[in-house]
Structure 1
């Protein structure tokens, strides 16, 4: 599997696009980190599932991909909403051993470039894909795990190995972290199917799919902790501290998938706070879903706190006031609960809130001003600035 993953990374680097590999039965084997647009078929792949039956039927019957000898373009259709380039992988005997997929919605991957890529796929992938086919064929009937049903719940998690006190040049210490973490988690949580995608900046996006009970946080949290603890120094040097942010539990038919960028924001908070837990669940962050929705509506743009919040973040005094205001707004404006949570006298709370209003020019008695402050302070916290 390591050879296949390395080869796919090489192919993706040559064309600067995500690349996915299925076996001859159209069961997902591996893929490179995904970026850009996504459709339902690619989401199935990220969850470790084969394409939907009607998609497979159309590809086999209409596109005749099992008979293809050369790269071809697959036009969009229901279930495969983004156009793709398909490349058959055949061994030296011309036996089909795999399928390579490249999302190409703008149909710009054409001509000599596509033909050259097809030859490169044959040169680099034919032998390792054939080896994989032989190994899986030796397992015997009925020993290969069945794909999860379409309604199988899942969570996404983002893992990051954070250097402590040293610089990790070119993320040298993180090589192999993602695959090793996925393998370790699979070993300690047999009820889960785990796949890992490694982003160019070193972050690892894990897809955790399986039984509902295996995804309950009282089971998943300890499993993640054990998986991290089981990583040896060859995989995770002592100067790297692993942190994970885990999405709420989701179902594939839900219209929006969890926001990976919002999970990365949560990791940024953990990275800057020494007392943060190694595993943080987005369920504990009330604004997580809102942040994800806003990111999607803005096309993935970064979210910046407004100028009034920036004023609070400018110095230590302002930061103390900002934390007080956020705690107050998190309770829905309940003075008693806020004072208790901050362990301060209620008179001290009133004074700090007045100071914050004076500094920002925003009244906490105004609903729009409250919303502006609450969102801005939440963004600041998720960016690690608060």
Structure 2
């Protein structure tokens, strides 16, 4: 089916109802609209002229939860001069593919029969859009395969993928810089399949914030990543716009407490090095999942000690914790008082006053605890290497515990 069939459905419903009809995509960007019957308001006219509504309008509409609706409902845009609307979700196989809108004014209210006809049209529109989605996915299959090969662990596969990128003209032939942004939702707290769809839609729409041809996406259930191509080094503002859009759309579509994190990798100057950008981006995602204090957007190269520690595998990290002096401290400190004190001491740059204030204890008590830590671990705070061993031991301990509780 072609998109023209969507227009035919809209025109048919409009003719039967003698009302203007519009269908938007899930981001409230116009896909098809009918002619007017004198019922249009300023918002409908602006939508047709701009092919979308401003974010000041779409944000509160989406905040109503229309992305999770399975039945028609009323929505009133917070725009002067706009009328109440009937919003009919356009779905197929449980996928949200758009919204069908009818203006429902007090002067000309919709009847039950009108709503039923709108539901029927939305159902048929869902089939049209679903088939278009399938065609789009088939056309993307080769590109996605090439991208997966581009980050393969096998050098020969990567070399062939670079040739395929050039042959298929996936990016401009001139020299480019490449950046990978990876995303993952925390599956430890949510197993909803719809959240996986939210990840994919969020990343695709984040990609759409850039000029056409600037990037490609790979999605795999709860994970996705995009490869971006720039002529110049991407600015922090450009990358922030992409990550903020992805985060915003995921939270709109998920409607749950599922945690969604993003990782920004290194910038590389050739296709053959994209696998390095990919690995650093996925490592940044791993850091964000394992260490919540880093925030929901982590950038490789800005993770402090985790830039180094997360180069180790899970088994290597757990193995290192077994020989760390912190292991002895953990065994002797059943209430975790000394371990908490040590963490606060390092987090405050070994400043006695700030640490004591944070823990709400007397400085003499802090000195006693630090002395006890030295006795248990055999380390001295006057020795730089001993301090480093204790600090790294704490960091590896937190990562190992996060592995066990989250994704281990």
Give the corresponding residue for 1:208: 228
- Greater radius of gyration (CA): 2
* Structure with more contact order per residue of length (Cα contacts < 8 Å, sep ≥ 6): 1
Cα distance between partner residues in 1 of 2:198 and 2:154: 25
RMSD of Structure 2 on Structure 1 (CA)? 4.5
- Mapped to 2, the partners of 1:42 and 1:196 lie a distance apart of 17
Task: Please list the CA deviations of residues 153-194 of structure 1 after superposition, one character each: whole Å capped at 9, or x if unmatched.
Answer: 42x333222369xx533x523332343122211222338834
Residues 151 and 251 in structure 1, CA contact (< 8 A), matched pair in contact too: yes
Task: Tell me which moved more, 343-352 or 240-249.
Answer: 343-352
Point out the structure with the larger helix share: 2
Q: Which ranges of structure 1 fall in alignment gaps of 5 or more residues?
A: 9-19, 23-27, 57-97, 99-143
2:317 to 303, 316, 321: 303
Which of the residues 199, 216, 234 maps onto 1:195? 216
User: How does the TM-score come out when normalised to structure 1?
Assistant: 0.51
Q: Deviations over 1:265-294 (max 9, x none)?
A: 312235xx4x76332333432123323544
Are residues 380 and 319 of structure 1, via their aligned partners in 2, closer, same or farther at CA, if it must alter by over 3 Å? Answer: same
Of the three residues 305, 309, 322, the one matched with 1:287 is 305
**Structure 2 counterpart of 1:84:** none
Cα distance change, pair 21–310 in 1 and its aligned pair in 2 (3 A): same
Q: Paired residues, what number?
A: 261
**Shift in Å, 1:150:** 4.8
The alpha carbon displacement at 1:303 in A equals 1.6
Distance in 2 (CA, whole Å) between partners of 1:341 and 1:31 is 55
Aligned to 1:173: 194
Deviates more, 1:248-257 or 1:279-288: 248-257
What is the correspondence of 1:3-14 to structure 2 with a 5 Å cutoff?
3=134
Aligned 8 A contact 1:321 1:355 in 2: no
For structure 2, list consecutive stretches of 5 or more residues without a partner in the other structure: 1-131, 404-408
Residue-by-residue CA offset, 1:213-244 (whole Å, 9 max, x unaligned): 5x3323322431123213475x4233323222
Whether contact under 8 Å (1:185, 1:194) holds in the other structure is no
Q: Give, in whole Å, the separation in 2 of the partners of 1:217 and 1:337.
A: 36
Given the two structures, how large is their TM-score scaled by the length of structure 2?
0.49
Alignment of 1:1-386 (within 5 A): 3=134, 22=142, 28-30=143-145, 37-39=153-155, 42=158, 45=161, 51=164, 146-147=171-172, 149-154=174-179, 156-162=180-186, 167-169=189-191, 171-190=192-211, 193-199=214-220, 202-212=222-232, 215-231=234-250, 235-252=253-270, 256-257=276-277, 258-259=279-280, 262-270=283-291, 273=292, 277-295=295-313, 301-304=315-318, 305-307=320-322, 308-312=325-329, 315-327=335-347, 331=349, 335=351, 339=355, 350-383=367-400, 385=402
